[in-house]
Structure 1
Amino acid sequence: MKTQQQLLIGLSILATTVSCSSGGSGQSRGKDLLADCPVVAQYVQIGNDKVLSCDQKLLKDTVSFPLSHFTEEMDIIKLDNSDKALIGQCALTISDNYILAHSGYPPTAFKLFDRKGHFITEVGAVGQGPGEYQSVYDAQIDESNQRIYLMPWQSDKLLVFGMDGKALDPIPLGIRCPKARFKVDPEKSMVTVAILPWAGEEPVVWQQDMEGNHIQEVAAGHLAVQRSFNHELFVFLNMPDHFDFSMYCMMPTRVDSLYRYNEQENRLQPVFTFNHATTDPVPWHGYSEFSDYFTGNFSGPPVVQATEYGTVSTPGETFHYIIDKKSGKGAYFKMYNDYFGDSPIGYPSGVFVKGYFMHNIEPGNLLTEIENALKNPSLSEGMKKKLTDLQNSIDENDNNYVMLARLKK
């Protein structure tokens, strides 16, 4: 495979001569919303791969997307209010019938709920002994085998628990994994793992069985980064048949692409990249993928202000964009929650994980969001009643509420 630098040079040259090709599957749901937007991306042939390359300089418009454009009906779930069930602002892992609340910082035990919000159990315990954990980077619920998998920040084992929260034998990984993402395939009894590829060390992606025997792996190659926990690894798994992969490199930043792990050919397949208007330095950026779209974000220039204590630099504005895979049309975009009074969604590229939109919110903040939504003069009477009824049911001492909506396929 060519180096990333060679890939990007090739994209820049070929984008002017190769016409847009069909990408993705199914009918594009963005046809109407992006119909009047310009073509900002083109497919180019790089080896055996068609890569959609977007040029930031062509992005002109800003389009607002309703959440319902991407998802099925949204549920608002009140979590159990018992003392053991209380959670704070933490991440969630969702399955068909369960909600798993991740530990925050300082770490606390994971908490398992059913999809009605009833508390089931704590999963394992915080500590350094067998079956215990500190910080956890990724998690999965395997309903078919009644298992919960937790991937610590640095470990050579994937921790395994029953749905009763009790520790079971871990799955050996054979490699001490920095910031690993994973997917267990219960039907194939196989685990796919991606790790932060520190230079000169281990592969970036591999597959193994449940006993720890490696089946195949992909060398880090040009993706290798300096040994630092400042970098992030993103695997969103919003596409049922794709193991997506991208990195968020910091200090220094660099241009990269969105990949899919091609299991049959055992390689990372580039599918999308973004040509930034400014590359000195390259803005912080990330990518994600839906069935009909590529989306991404990047940071604007830092804001530098002079104060009495000296010069202070703060992060610039974050810009989000969306590209139709089929037409190559695209725009900057915002998203609003039309299931919830058209309230804005602040981070449209980063609230979809493993096939769900999810929003974990404390009761006081939920009341504030309802109050703001009710100020919208164009709300229907039905929406006003829905929000008012919810508002009247909330107590500030409640446990958190969870908004959940499954992505359309």
Structure 2
Amino acid sequence: MSDYEIIRLENSEEALVGHSYAFAVSENYIGLYNSNLKDYKLFNRKGKYIRSISSAGQGPDEYYIAIYDSYIDEENGRVYLLSYRANKLLVFDLEGKPLQHIPFPFPVHKGRFRINAKKKELTMMALPFIDTPFVVWRQDFEGNILQSIDAGHFVIDPGDYSNEVNESQNTALLDFSLFHWMPIMDSIYHYSEQNNVLEPVFTVKWKDENILRHIYTELSSHYFTRLVGEGASWDGSVPRYPLIIVDKNNLRGCYANLKFNMLGNIDGPSYVTFNRGYCIANMFPYELKEQLEKALSKSEKMTPEMKDKLMKLNNSLTEDDNNVLFIGKLKQ
């Protein structure tokens, strides 16, 4: 990471976020959302709760079940929300007021998106159920399709929401992959807008065709593969799944443990998000205190500055506080 922040969220009832793992980050704002939250919560980068935007429901400005993807376009004063099943991309200003929403030409299941505000276009990715003609497409803000990739062999039938769409957007290229609950041999693809094709760029070859559930993430110099459901260790609240990191240049890989070296090499949370150029983690205060105290118990090799930093942070936390976010800008 080129830099990082430790952000303590405001300790008020309306600001509580629980074990949220979905984030939208801009220069001055943070959006938190997942299926456990009743609404989309907007904070500033100091952790101050600003407001909630939209909510689950059947109204014209509400979403179905929960938010699946979001983007904060701070330059144009827009917050985009995409629900688990959607017939439009919800658009709000930073005050939470609904604007002109962007219609889809067909129902979108667990979609991901990239906005081009200047061209008034967006590139969409979706779980390809039998009612989804395209797995990736480009459209304008009026719902007109400009380019498309047929769902074809990607189709999931019967449609099952235990599957996921993965995209990292940590590079200039648009990456795409599917997580299959019933695992199959699959790849990370790059979508070429110029040629309108999905180009496979990375595939894990499994020994003896014993394919494990896995989630792909792309960074500028590495690929991550997180193994889901196999070999997990338990940290007392949620499982820690094995992580494989592969160098893009030589394709050498190994198992990896993510450590927060800015806090004495603590383990951090069980799940870290890498999305749209940011590394983001969310920890309950009691989790963080446990990790800090564990590190301080072996502080003989720490610098005095690091030990003092950990002690001050640990002493300032109580178990009744709201969560603590770690946000870092990824190197390109």
TM-superposed CA distance for 1:213, in Å, is 1.5
Instruction: State the match for 2:246 in structure 1.
Output: 323
Instruction: State the match for 1:289 in structure 2.
Output: 218
Residue 250 of structure 1: SS of its match in structure 2? Answer: coil
Match among 320, 334, 337 for residue 257 of structure 2: 334
Instruction: State the match for 1:230 in structure 2.
Output: 162
Instruction: State the match for 1:131 in structure 2.
Output: 61
Residue correspondence of structure 1 range 126-165 to structure 2 within 5 A: 126-133=56-63, 134-165=65-96
Q: Which amino acid aligns with 2:253?
A: G
| Contact map agreement 1:89 1:104 (CA 8 A) in 2 | no
Q: Which amino acid aligns with 2:225?
A: G
Kindly provide the CA deviation profile for residues 219-268 of structure 1, in whole angstroms up to 9, marking residues without a partner as x.
Answer: 112222222112111112111x11111111123x2100100111111111
Pair 317,150 (structure 1): closer, same or farther in 2 beyond 3 Å: closer
TM-superposed CA distance for 1:345, in Å, is 4.6
Residue 100 of structure 1: SS of its match in structure 2? Answer: strand
Kindly provide the CA deviation profile for residues 172-224 of structure 1, in whole angstroms up to 9, marking residues without a partner as x.
Answer: 01110111111112233211110001247410000111222111111112222
TM-superposed CA distance for 1:319, in Å, is 3.2
Residue 291 of structure 2: SS of its match in structure 1? Answer: helix
Instruction: State the match for 1:255 in structure 2.
Output: 185
Distance 1:381 1:103 in 2: 39
Residue correspondence of structure 1 range 347-362 to structure 2 within 5 A: 351-362=273-284
TM-superposed CA distance for 1:332, in Å, is 2.0
Instruction: State the match for 1:18 in structure 2.
Output: none
Distance 2:298 2:119 in 1: 50
TM-score by length of 1: 0.74
Instruction: State the match for 1:84 in structure 2.
Output: 14
TM-superposed CA distance for 1:346, in Å, is 6.0
Residue correspondence of structure 1 range 307-318 to structure 2 within 5 A: 318=241
Q: Which amino acid aligns with 1:319?
A: P
Pair 127,262 (structure 1): closer, same or farther in 2 beyond 3 Å: same
Match among 146, 149, 155 for residue 218 of structure 1: 149
Residue 307 of structure 2: SS of its match in structure 1? Answer: helix
Instruction: State the match for 1:189 in structure 2.
Output: 120
Instruction: State the match for 1:170 in structure 2.
Output: 101
Residue 111 of structure 1: SS of its match in structure 2? Answer: strand
Instruction: State the match for 1:113 in structure 2.
Output: 43
Residue 102 of structure 2: SS of its match in structure 1? Answer: strand
TM-superposed CA distance for 1:343, in Å, is 1.0
| Contact map agreement 1:334 1:345 (CA 8 A) in 2 | no
| Contact map agreement 2:269 2:282 (CA 8 A) in 1 | no
Match among 29, 33, 53 for residue 98 of structure 1: 29
- The structure whose RCO (Cα within 8 Å, separation 6+) is larger is 1
- Paired residues in the alignment total 322
Kindly provide the CA deviation profile for residues 90-144 of structure 1, in whole angstroms up to 9, marking residues without a partner as x.
Answer: 1221111101111442x41111111111221111233221201231111110112
Match among 113, 136, 142 for residue 205 of structure 1: 136
Distance 1:118 1:172 in 2: 32
Kindly provide the CA deviation profile for residues 290-341 of structure 1, in whole angstroms up to 9, marking residues without a partner as x.
Answer: 11112213357689xxxxxxxxxxxx98432222222233222222110111
Distance 2:100 2:90 in 1: 8
Residue 198 of structure 1: SS of its match in structure 2? Answer: coil
Q: Which amino acid aligns with 1:93?
A: A
Residue 335 of structure 1: SS of its match in structure 2? Answer: coil
Q: Indicate the structure (1 or 2) with the bigger Cα radius of gyration.
A: 1
Instruction: State the match for 1:376 in structure 2.
Output: 298
The more displaced of 290-299 and 242-251 is 290-299
Distance 2:38 2:77 in 1: 22
Residue 372 of structure 1: SS of its match in structure 2? Answer: helix
| Contact map agreement 2:283 2:323 (CA 8 A) in 1 | yes
Match among 308, 312, 322 for residue 399 of structure 1: 322
Pair 80,317 (structure 1): closer, same or farther in 2 beyond 3 Å: closer
Instruction: State the match for 2:236 in structure 1.
Output: none
Matched, 1:298 2:220: no
Distance 1:358 1:89 in 2: 13
| Contact map agreement 2:79 2:91 (CA 8 A) in 1 | yes
| Contact map agreement 1:136 1:150 (CA 8 A) in 2 | yes
| Contact map agreement 2:280 2:328 (CA 8 A) in 1 | yes
Pair 99,300 (structure 1): closer, same or farther in 2 beyond 3 Å: closer
Pair 296,167 (structure 1): closer, same or farther in 2 beyond 3 Å: same
Segments of 5+ residues of structure 2 without an aligned counterpart are: 233-238
Instruction: State the match for 1:275 in structure 2.
Output: 205
Distance 2:140 2:279 in 1: 30
TM-score by length of 2: 0.90
